[in-house]
Amino acid sequence: MLLAALTQADEAFDQALEQFAKGKIKNVQQGVTLLSDSEDERVPKVLKHLLEGQLYRNRDTDQVVYITKEGEDLVWVVPVAQDDAEPQSAKDRRVKRVGVNNRLRSMIRTTLAGINLKHPEAEKRAAAIRELLGDLDEDTLAILKKRETVETDEYVSTLIATALALADLDSNDAEKQLAAVHLLYDSLEPDVRIALKQKVDQVTDVKLRKEIEKAIAHIEGQIDFYEKVKTVFFGLSLGSILVLAAIGLAITFGVMGVINMAHGELIMIGAYTTWGVQALFPGSVEYSLLIAVPAAFLVSGVVGIAIERGVIKFLYGRPLETLLATFGVSLVLQQAVRSLFGPLNQSVETPSWMSGLLEINPVFSLTLNRLYIILFCFMVFAVLFVILRKTNLGLQVRAVSQNRAMARSMGVRSEWVDAMTFGLGSGIAGVAGVALSQISNVGPNLGQAYIIDSFMVVVFGGVGNLWGTMVAGLSLGVANKFLEPFSGAVLAKILVLIFIILFIQKKPRGLFPQKGRAAEG
């Protein structure tokens, strides 16, 4: 019985291809009808290519083919009946597109919808219904009504009910129209809003008009709410980047009193380490970031320790001189990178698990790479907080920062603590470079874009306070994104800078000022 059904499906498929090969519209229509009755797994692919104008007939071989590549003289084709075959070549003039008209396109969409609505995955069925919302006819409504009786997924059932309500909106029965408006009241589908706005101008019934206007106002209110949530999300993602870039500086600048103008270059080194890991392991893009995080921490940390041992240890207590010295170091590092890797930007691939969107509803979705950066920021902050609060190194760092002479008298090796602290802050900067490589190109000037913002975050949050850095970075990111729609990106940054200047005038020690001996220094 199963064998007979498969044979029949194959026959219908082959007969459809024969009709397509004839090229006339009536034959193509017959072919689509045959495919609608076929259970062949190749049917959706054939119909999609036909709808998109990518199905051709080869006059030389009388075969229906897919076009896969076009050259100057040759067209590369794959026979539909053997879609796993190697591409073949044919003369351009011997290949002719299988034509369709508007009526046929509607028929193809309906056929595809019927096939996709039987798909085992609920997401595929939901996507098929969304495609139909703006182009409902009697055939598609019949398919949806039939599917409604057997659908088990709640969300797909809601979409079917939405589609049927859209159809009822155009009926001549006022009660049906009113019930449809009530059902569509909470729908955020774009086609629903468009249909309601079109209908409100056509309705003469006062009660129905008021209900439609009420539904439109409610939907637009929801959309406005989700737009604000989206702005907050983008603000948090920007703020997370600022926190990652500034948190290492909060240690070196806040705890050690060193104005490190090479901090941006340490971020850049972390980004180049990420690119280097992908270059060394080209087949491991999915895991490259997991390797790059500890690698970037080590590379940037070692470079930071070298800077501290070679330059900064001679300049403690002279912050302006550390500024000038580290500015020179930053120029050296930039030129070294240009000499080693070239002046052009390098591209870092994003793993598939960080690509795409997380769709919450039809008007609100989260970009996965930015969502992961936010989570990564909190993870880095938590690890660093534990290191500084719960480990022996953290205890010694706090002791040296509060009273260096007393710490030395208690046996703390202050020089070792200085080197490790600077290395820790530099390593965190390298980790920030890993995150930045996922949202921008990697180049010699990458760090320069974040050094000023990093200092602003540290000063605004309170010098040497990790919680202050976190709160300041996130709040500045959100404020920036809320200002951008009204003022533009550049003016938004200027307004934020003016706010910080005015704030520091009132509270020179920032949001969370240090207390005790560290504050007195």
d(CA 363, CA 357): 12
Instruction: State residue 69's pLDDT score.
Output: 60
Residues 401, 514 contacting (CB under 8 angstroms):
no
Maximum Cα–Cα distance across the chain? 97
Q: How confident is residue 108, by pLDDT bands cut at 50, 70 and 90?
A: confident
Instruction: State residue 516's pLDDT score.
Output: 45
Q: Is the pLDDT of residue 83 over 90?
A: no
d(CA 430, CA 269): 6
Instruction: State residue 71's pLDDT score.
Output: 56
d(CA 176, CA 182): 10
Cβ neighbours, 10 Å, residue 475: 19
Q: Is the pLDDT of residue 254 over 70?
A: no
440: which DSSP letter? S
pLDDT digits (tens, 9 = 90+) for 390-435: 888 878 877 776 677 777 777 777 778 888 888 888 999 999 999 9
pLDDT digits (tens, 9 = 90+) for 85-105: 666 666 666 778 888 888 888
pLDDT digits (tens, 9 = 90+) for 277-328: 998 888 788 888 889 999 999 999 999 999 988 888 888 778 788 888 989 9
Write the CA distances from 208 to 101, 189, 201, 212, integer angstroms: 38, 21, 11, 6
CA angle 76, 35, 150 (to 5 degrees): 125
Read off the pTM: 0.78
Nearest CA-CA partner of 416 in 386, 389, 392? 392
DSSP assignment of 86-116, as one string? PPEEEEGGGEEE----HHHHHHHHHHHHHHH
The whole-chain average pLDDT of the chain stands at 82
Whose tokens are 């495919």? That residue is 35
Residue 353: how many CA atoms within 13 Å on its side-chain side? 9
Instruction: State residue 517's pLDDT score.
Output: 44
d(CA 140, CA 157): 15
Instruction: State residue 416's pLDDT score.
Output: 83
CA angle 177, 183, 188 (to 5 degrees): 115
Mean pLDDT of 468-488: 88
Strand partners, 70: 75
pLDDT digits (tens, 9 = 90+) for 182-198: 898 888 888 888 888 88
Better-scored residue on pLDDT, 520 or 294 = 294
d(CA 171, CA 405): 87
Whose tokens are 């934020």? That residue is 496
Two structure tokens written together for 38:
């076929």
Nearest CA-CA partner of 448 in 247, 308, 263? 263
Q: Is the pLDDT of residue 514 over 80?
A: no
Q: In this structure, which amino acid lies at residue 29?
A: Q
Strand partners, 513: none
Residues 457, 243 contacting (CB under 8 angstroms):
yes
Q: Is 257 left (phi over 0), alpha (psi -120 to 50) or beta?
A: left
d(CA 459, CA 260): 14
pLDDT digits (tens, 9 = 90+) for 328-366: 999 999 999 999 888 888 888 888 888 888 888 888 889
Q: In this structure, which amino acid lies at residue 103?
A: R
Sign of CA dihedral 460, 465, 468, 473: positive
Residue 79, judged by CB atoms within 10 A of its CB (0-12, 13-18, 19+), counts as: middle
pLDDT digits (tens, 9 = 90+) for 28-66: 888 888 887 777 778 888 888 888 777 888 777 777 877
462: which DSSP letter? -
Instruction: State residue 511's pLDDT score.
Output: 76
Q: Is 225-520 assigned to CATH 1.10.3470?
A: yes
Mean pLDDT of 218-234: 93
Every domain of the chain and the residues it spans? 2-103, 117-204, 225-520
Nearest CA-CA partner of 498 in 261, 6, 76, 487? 487
Residues 511, 461 contacting (CB under 8 angstroms):
yes
371: Cβ–Cβ under 8 A, 6 or more apart, which residues?
237, 358
Better-scored residue on pLDDT, 118 or 433 = 433
d(CA 351, CA 353): 5
DSSP assignment of 36-67, as one string? HT---TTHHHHHHHHHTT-EEEETTTTEEEEE
Residue 168: how many CA atoms within 13 Å on its side-chain side? 19
